[in-house]
Amino acid sequence: MATAEALMEPQASHLDPITEAALRSLHDIAIPTPVSWMPQTWGWIVVGLVLLVGLMFAFLLWLRRYRANAYRREARRILDEIEIRIRNPETRQDAIHELACLLKRTALAAWPRDQVACLSGAAWVHFLDGHAEGGAGNALARLLDDAEYRDSSSIGGLPQNDGDDIAAAVRGWIERHHVSA
């Protein structure tokens, strides 16, 4: 009786000698080498270097602008605190005085002291108006011409929206004033 393994094995057919020789000479499929990620020509290296230098240059410009506008970020942070006090009638006068001081500090951070420190009244309003996109607006002119010098009872009696308008005008000037290079 034949074993189970012998029964399961297929009968090897006898091939002619030429076919057997051809089958023995077959090899596995030749797999190509993986494609390199490195560029094959120097042109791509130049393009990569130019892109790298361009990105570094753009980053340095962004960093310079970010550092140059540090005074604006600081002024906006202080303005956020002042805006809270403007909404309270008891602290409104001090807050409005602080708005005027904040404008002067912001301008002193952006321009030379001899151009800004001596300005007051109409000359100060003209300076702010001349360096703001679209002008400084009436709210800033009211602040610097009138509201800054009023007593606490008249400023405390100002409508809520007047204080908000003045704070919005100060914020607009801080964010959009133009400093020439």
DSSP letters along 94-155, please?
A: HHHHHHHHHHHHHHHHHS-HHHHTT--HHHHHHHHHHTBTT---HHHHHHHHTGGGS-HHHH
How is the chain split into domains, by residue range?
69-176
Q: What is the pLDDT of residues 111-130, one digit of tens each?
A: 999 999 988 888 888 888 88
Length of the chain: 181
Between 5 and 85, the higher pLDDT residue: 85
Residue of 51, 71, 49, 70 lying closest to 59 (CA atoms):
51
Reported confidence tier of residue 157, pLDDT bands at 50, 70, 90? low
79 by DSSP, 3-state: which? helix
Average pLDDT, the chain: 83
